Amino acid sequence: MSEYINTCERCQKTNRNMGRRLITRGKENFNSCLIIVDRFSKSVRCLPCHKEDTAVDTALLFWNNIISTCGVPKIIISDRDPKFLSEFWTNLYDMLGTKLAFSIAYHPQTDGLAERMIQKMEDILRRFCAYGMEYKDHEGYRNDCDTLLPAVQMAYNTSQHSTTGKTPALVEKGWNHLLPVDHLKKIF
């Protein structure tokens, strides 16, 4: 198996040691991704964004994609990004009744779940980008990686988690998502 992986061009392209070239900006020019992890279900939300987004931009993204669909969280553990340290976010947390905890620098245990999730999402996205045949640029790399984030999110949330032994979707909603492949199984 390792011999095959060592000679497989796609496997080598998606290897984490190859750098970050495979994850490119799409048409919306997103250059970042807000990763939100539910500690209970282990479900993840991948929200494309811009590094230059303000605290207000990030709050709108959070409101439209998390609060509007999942409700107000009781606690948020975040890194020390200035966006989340701003007076705007502090006031928003107070109004919503959400407790805010920040990770300690160089102490990944505080927010280790999110840090591992970021690595995992990058790895999955890198593989999705390497295997897609359409939307390639002149160097052979995909130029629509941001549009793949929903598929990456679905792939993770419908896979069995090692800690719970269940899919995050099942833990979060009480049922497993019906996937396109499930319909194909019925046909064949």
Site of tokens 């939300």:
45
Instruction: From 136, 133, 140, 124, select the one nearest 46 (Cα to Cα).
Output: 124
pLDDT given at position 108? 59
Give the pLDDT confidence of 100-144 residue by residue, as tens digits. 888 776 665 656 777 788 888 888 887 777 665 455 655 555 566
39-63 pLDDT tens trace: 899 999 999 999 899 989 998 999 9
- Calculate what percentage of the chain has a pLDDT beyond 90: 23
Give the pLDDT band of residue 9 (cuts 50, 70, 90): low
Q: Which of 160, 135, 150 is nearest to 180 (CA)?
A: 150
Closest among 24, 56, 49, 20 to 34, alpha carbons compared: 49
Angle (deg, nearest 10), helices 112-131 and 149-157: 120
Are 122 and 115 a contacting pair, CB within 8 Å?
no
Token reading at 79 = 């890194």
Task: Write the CA distances from 84 to 32, 60, 80, 160, integer angstroms.
Answer: 16, 13, 7, 31
Question: When comparing pLDDT for 63 and 14, which is higher?
Answer: 63
pLDDT, position 18: 46
2-187: CATH architecture: 2-Layer Sandwich (3.30)
pTM: 0.74
Q: Where are the domains of the chain?
A: 2-187
Question: Amino acid letter at 27?
Answer: K
pLDDT of residue 141: 57
